[in-house]
Structure 1
Amino acid sequence: MRAVLAAPPPTLLVIAKEPLPGRVKTRLTPVYRPEQAAALAEAALADTLATLSLIPAGRRLVVLDGRPGRWLPPGWEVAPQVTGGLDARLAAAFALAPPDRPALLVGMDTPQLTAATLAEPLSAARRPGVDAWYGPAADGGFWALGLARPTPGLARRLLVGVEMSTARTGAQLLARTVAAGLTVCHLPTLVDVDTAEDAEAVARAAPDGRFAARWRAFCPDRSAAPSERAARR
């Protein structure tokens, strides 16, 4: 019990891109205009940060490509992403976390994420014996990676060289994690918002969030997604 009470709170990291038209969620177009795609991305990021703000943490940090905006809530710091591929940028994000406490990295594409999904697995009572946390995405990628002892060297071994944005990405990362001898806590599978179909599924799964409200504003005919209406034309 003493060890549980003394366990340090985790570091929460969000890898994000400034939600500018033409730079984010480009796979949502042409179903959505670039301005609408950017607005959906901003809402997804805002929902993600609001949810993570409810989870006990020692430090909350947005690792950002671009500049912060109105979506940044109080209590969050901002650090710039390094240059290079996504694998290198993800690995470098863990270097911002102290090595003596767990760190969890999530993206900005799962606004349906709930605090309960992470609060229990990251709690001090559930951490003993866990070396890593892995959250698979429905498209074969991953939405979360956590390390109990987040050293830069370990993060590079796990992430650098993994093929990003493919149906094999998550499997490759998980295989490396297991090969490194890490005991993995598996988080639920979530849908990343990449396509118009993904946006509809996520909005319907979490109807009370900013993302869902923005989606409904762009889809006044709520009986069908914009992709479905476009197909009927």
Structure 2
Amino acid sequence: MDHHRSSRSLRRAQWSLQGHGHSRGNSPHRTRHGPAPVKIDPALIVLAKAPVAGRSKTRLHPPLTMSQAAELAEACLVDTLKAVAETPSAGRYLVLDGKPGPWLPRGFDVVPQRGRGLDERLTSAFEDARTPSLLIGMDTPQINAQLLDDALASLRAGSDAVLGPAPDGGYWAVGLKSQPGKAFMGVPMSAAITLDAQVQRFKSLGLNWALLPALRDVDVWADALEVAAVAPASRFATELSGMAQLLEQPA
């Protein structure tokens, strides 16, 4: 598979057919009426920014230099793409702000990010994939194939949407079984209320949604230390350990 194809050449997969959408609650265990969904294997999407000094992980400065922050961002991305590559799925898409580099493994379709705000970029990413999908960012290098496979299974099992909460009030993953429509537009992003606002949007659209396990995403130095501690075998943890030794800070 050529991993440098544009979004124009992506194959057209069918979205699943849902019931009438009159969900009476947010629990995946509630009974829904209408026809059973057509089972279509979901794809995996990584929404990422190319690791470039001054543009990637800038909130890690200080204590890191901008160059070190970009190196750590690349480690985040490498670990994330590795987990996605190890997870069976209908497709693997890297929706990228910037240009791909030698860190990109084979088997990914690279799609340029479209939109101004994050709500627009999320909408465009799902539209360009043209299939039920689970989308993650590049901020959770502790992710692994088992977590991703479980999340995909939740979509296959009947949830219209899934959300992976983060401690800062946002979310590290979001999955949709149908076209995004108004699922993201106008939802406040990168805020302490993002997860709650997204849940309310799903409710207003009558979507049957489920929560995934919570994961901490890497925004600041304290996040980086905690994430490295729970994924000591990751490239991220290795890179961080070397940087922390230079800074004479524990990792």
Is the TM-score greater than 0.5?
yes
Give the Å deviation of 1:219: 1.2
Q: Contact (CA 8 Å) 2:39, 2:156: kept in 1 or not?
A: no
Aligned equivalent of 2:61: 29
Q: Is the 8 A contact 2:160 2:176 kept in 1?
A: yes
Matching of residue 114 in structure 1 with residue 144 in structure 2: yes
Please state if 1:198 is matched with 2:230.
no
| Contact preservation (8 Å) 2:42, 2:156 | no
After superposition, the Cα gap between the structure-2 partners of 1:184 and 1:123, relative to the gap in structure 1 and judged at 3 Å, is same
Under a length normalisation based on structure 1, what TM-score does the superposition of the two structures give?
0.86
Partner-residue secondary structure (3-state), 2:156: coil
Unaligned runs of 5+ in 2: 1-37
Q: 1:16 aligns with which of 40, 43, 48?
A: 48
1:98, 1:83 → 2: CA distance?
17
Q: Percent identity?
A: 45
Cross-structure match for 2:193: 168
The separation in 1 between residues aligned to 2:121 and 2:194, in whole angstroms, is: 15
Q: Using the alignment, how far apart are the partners of 1:123 and 1:223 within structure 2?
A: 43
Equivalent-residue separation in structure 2 for 1:83 and 1:121 (angstroms): 26
Q: Which has the higher helix share?
A: 1
1: CA distance between counterparts of 2:222 and 2:118?
A: 24
**Superposition RMSD in Å:** 1.9
What do residues 36-63 of structure 1 show as CA deviations (whole Å, max 9, x unaligned)?
1001111001100100111111110100
Question: Within 5 A, what are the aligned runs for 1:128-207?
Answer: 128-149=157-178, 151=179, 155-207=180-232
CA–CA separation in structure 2 for the residues paired with 1:77 and 1:129: 27
State the TM-score, normalizing by the size of structure 2: 0.80
Structure-2 change in CA distance of 1:20 and 1:223 (3 Å): closer
Deviates more, 1:207-216 or 1:111-120: 111-120
Instruction: Trace 1:14-93 onto structure 2 (pairs within 5 A).
Output: 14-93=46-125
Answering whether residue 128 of structure 2 is matched by residue 103 of structure 1, we say no
Tell me the SS of whatever aligns to 2:128. coil
Structure 1: unaligned runs, 5 residues or longer = 1-5, 227-233
